[in-house]
Amino acid sequence: MSLPQGDVSVPRGAPSRGWTLAAVACGTFLMLVAFTMPLATIVPTAASLDAGVAGRTWVLSSMSIGLASALLTSGAVADDFGRRRTFVAGLFLMALTSVVCVVAPDTVTFVLARVLQGVGGAAVTASSLGIIAHTFPAGPERASASGVWGAALGAGIAVGPVVAGLCDAWVSWRLAYALLAAACVATAALALGVVRESRAARPRPVDRWGGLLLAVGLGSLLAGLVESRQDLGDPLALALFGGAVLALVAFVAVERRGRAPMLDLMLLRHRRFLAVTVAAFATGMGIIALFSFMAVFLDTGFGIDALGASLLLLSWSATSVAASLLARRIPEHRVSGRVQLAIGLVGVAVGQAGLAAVGPDTSWPRFVPALLVAGVASGVLNAALGREAVAAVPVGREAMGAGANNTARYVGSAIGVTVVAVIVASHGTSRQDLFDGWNVAVLLTAAFSLVGAAVVLTCRPARDAR
């Protein structure tokens, strides 16, 4: 197999591409399992940790902070120092922090462990797409592998809450984290055996200041969003937002002047990179934000517990898995990645809109058709995002591209969830108020998806690479 220009591979045996794909897909799956597990167990978790209302919000949001803060840095590190090494290190960090979650005596310990678990998950996610780009040449093979990666993404979202809910019903919510730790160690061992090490042909100096400023900026932004969900005028939230602005402005200044910037800001002038970044951000602001809040809505509005809500949402997440696998067969020479992204965003907007116009007399089966539509569209979107994230950056910087793309996705979801929560809360506290707020939030998140699709369609290159 010829290497992508700009990449080097550490001499080793010739492991099967299939096993390599299995290892990175499994790592991606476990990251999403870890990310979604608290959705089904927030009530017993909060009770065990003696967490109040604010504590519950932090339990649900803490991993997002670690993810968004470390994704871009992890991608740059993976490209320069080894993608397999970064992938395996991320899995071991996820395993270690899972053990801490098992024994955590209080909210602070659990939240800190989840933030670090997000850092590990960032290393796994960014390096996994870099490994795929290195292993599979551009074209049908990479499109097929990206479809499997997208399916693993959907599968993790589907399985995480269900496994956590079942573990809590059988033994304790802590059992889910023990199983996660064991699975992460097993996947790391598999990766060490079957994944060939690779890195950029010309490693660059570590952008320490860029990495620090980005982590502080995004971490402060997400922490401020979490705090503001209870009170938009909260002094701590305002201070965090102020710190985020200062750190991110400094980050841009450092990256513009640096000789080896972590993120080459000139990439934003390339329409393909801009299109996939906007698509990822719109995905977070739209479908991910709405469905992250949906478990709370189903519980409060319909009396469906988190495990039941997770099973209902399987009609979305499981459908997205199948659609991601089928999307591998879409010929890119006929339907470009940019068009696939736009189609996916329009599809999820249609699915989201189908969840609106509900009231206290609505029954839960009413949601299933819309969830199925959103699932098909999400599958197409996830597969295209995985492929375009690495195709839109220079050869040898694929993990950085994956990190930038996923950073946009998780920052978008953090902003979107905050918007949804504030809109619903602003309508009042009665059951009818809940439905009124939900209907407005649904249409707004659908609008985010449509705006994202429109921007993506305008990012047509002079010669549309297909």
DSSP string of 235-297, one letter each residue: HHHHHHHHHHHHHHHHHHHHHHH-SS-SS-GGGGGSHHHHHHHHHHHHHIIIIIHHHHHHHHH
At 462, is the pLDDT very low, low, confident or very high (cuts 50, 70, 90)? low
Cβ-contact 187, 156 below 8 angstroms: no
Q: Does the pLDDT of residue 435 top 70, yes or no?
A: yes
**Residue that wins the pLDDT comparison between 255 and 5:** 255
Among 194, 198, 195, CA closest to 10: 198
Q: Does the pLDDT of residue 1 top 50, yes or no?
A: no
**Residue that wins the pLDDT comparison between 263 and 194:** 194
Among 22, 45, 29, 47, CA closest to 176: 45
Question: CA-to-CA distance for 37 and 110, rounded, in angstroms?
Answer: 13
- pLDDT digits over 273-290, tens only? 889 999 999 999 999 989
pLDDT for residue 78: 84
At 419, is the pLDDT very low, low, confident or very high (cuts 50, 70, 90)? confident
pLDDT for residue 2: 42
pLDDT for residue 245: 93
Q: Does the pLDDT of residue 21 top 60, yes or no?
A: yes
Residues 244-257, mean pLDDT to the nearest whole number: 88
At 294, is the pLDDT very low, low, confident or very high (cuts 50, 70, 90)? confident
At 464, is the pLDDT very low, low, confident or very high (cuts 50, 70, 90)? very low
In the beta sheet, which residues pair with residue 9? 198
CB-based contacts of 113, cutoff 8 Å, min separation 6: 97, 98, 100, 101, 104
Q: Does the pLDDT of residue 14 top 70, yes or no?
A: no
**Residue that wins the pLDDT comparison between 413 and 444:** 444
Residues 334-342, mean pLDDT to the nearest whole number: 88
Among 3-17, 35-49, 220-234, the minimum mean pLDDT is found in 3-17
Residues 317-326, mean pLDDT to the nearest whole number: 90
Q: Can you give the residue ranges of every domain in the chain?
A: 13-197+262-458, 208-261
Residue at 161: amino acid letter: P
Among 432, 325, 430, CA closest to 383: 325
How crowded is residue 185: how many other Cβ atoms within 10 Å of its Cβ? 16
Q: Does the pLDDT of residue 19 top 70, yes or no?
A: yes
pLDDT for residue 141: 84
- pLDDT digits over 94-137, tens only? 999 999 999 999 999 999 999 999 999 999 988 998 898 888 88
Q: Does the pLDDT of residue 174 top 50, yes or no?
A: yes
Cβ-contact 392, 132 below 8 angstroms: no
Q: Does the pLDDT of residue 3 top 60, yes or no?
A: no
**Residue that wins the pLDDT comparison between 341 and 218:** 341
**Residue that wins the pLDDT comparison between 140 and 124:** 124
Mean pLDDT of the chain: 86
Per CATH, the number for 13-197+262-458 is: 1.20.1250.20
Q: Does the pLDDT of residue 465 top 50, yes or no?
A: no
Q: What is the pTM of this model?
A: 0.85
- pLDDT digits over 49-84, tens only? 998 877 888 888 888 888 888 888 888 888 888 899
Residues 370-396, mean pLDDT to the nearest whole number: 87
| Cα-based angle 80, 83, 88 (whole degrees, multiple of 5) | 130
Task: Give me the phi and psi of 125, to 5 degrees please.
Answer: -65, -50
Question: What percent of the chain clears pLDDT 90, i.e. is strictly above it?
Answer: 37
pLDDT for residue 150: 85
pLDDT for residue 13: 47
8-state DSSP, 367:
G
pLDDT for residue 327: 86
At 22, is the pLDDT very low, low, confident or very high (cuts 50, 70, 90)? very high
**Residue that wins the pLDDT comparison between 38 and 13:** 38
pLDDT for residue 9: 53
Residues 415-439, mean pLDDT to the nearest whole number: 88
Share of the chain residues as helix, strand and coil, in percent rounded to the nearest 5: 80, 0, 20
Q: Does the pLDDT of residue 352 top 90, yes or no?
A: yes
At 300, is the pLDDT very low, low, confident or very high (cuts 50, 70, 90)? confident
- CA distance from start to end of the chain: 23
Among 255-264, 385-394, 441-450, the minimum mean pLDDT is found in 255-264
